[in-house]
Amino acid sequence: MRLLLLLAGLVGLSAIPFMAFGERFEAGEFLAFIQSDSPWAAVLGVAAMAADLVIPFPAQAIMTNFGMSRGWFMGGLLGSAGTFTAGFLAYWLCRLLGQRAVNFIAGEEDAARLKSFFERHGFWSIAVSRWIPLVPEVISSLAGAARMAQWRFMAGNLIGSLSVGFAYSTLGSMDSVPGYVLFAISIAIPVLMLGIFTLVLARSY
């Protein structure tokens, strides 16, 4: 129960800034700058995605705009770098808490279950979660708290980041496809991946 409350709390905390300030970041000025020729546009876009744990920047929209302005390849590299860095930071910030702090917050029993989950299903849960809004940094934080093996986390984070980064960048670069089709695809993909992610969680208990 404490583990479920911890997960719900992390999701809630990540959603608070989005609900409070999300509309301000949905305005077109920021995304328009991402598409500009400014040498800082790409840097700011990647930094905004990396700060996704605490600041409600629309990561999927940034990746799509990278594809629109820089093509599928360079846009994919930039989007992948941004989402990979976000997961990397979330993982290490919570890993640095130490085992005592994790046991105190989640309880020793739930902390052991959390560690067991990431030992068995951590790779795929990290990779798949990169596709789902709000969830990626929560899962990465829990992986860090559970002290998931570094190489397994990095591998899952890399594969998930590359796949989502290039997918959204490719969508953004498809000028010949109607906008409503791209919008429908961008909504359908996270829903599908959420179903897969939920199935992984359900089968683990």
| The residue to which tokens 């359908």 are assigned | 188
Higher pLDDT, residue 115 or 182: 115
What is the C-alpha to C-alpha distance for residues 19 and 190, in angstroms, rounded to an integer? 19
Q: Which tokens go with 15?
A: 């959603």
Q: Is the pLDDT of residue 35 over 90?
A: no
Are 154 and 81 spatial neighbours (Cβ–Cβ below 8 Å)? no
pLDDT digits (tens, 9 = 90+) for 119-167: 888 898 899 889 887 788 888 888 888 888 999 999 999 999 999 999 9
Distance of CA 202 to the CA centre of its chain: 21
> Residue 37 carries which DSSP code?
S
What is the C-alpha to C-alpha distance for residues 70 and 89, in angstroms, rounded to an integer? 26
What is the C-alpha to C-alpha distance for residues 56 and 164, in angstroms, rounded to an integer? 18
Are 75 and 69 spatial neighbours (Cβ–Cβ below 8 Å)? yes
At residue 61, the pLDDT reads 85
Residue ranges of alpha helices (H) inside 96-134 are 99-106, 108-129
Return the half-sphere exposure (C-beta side, CA atoms, 13 A cut-off) of residue 2.
13
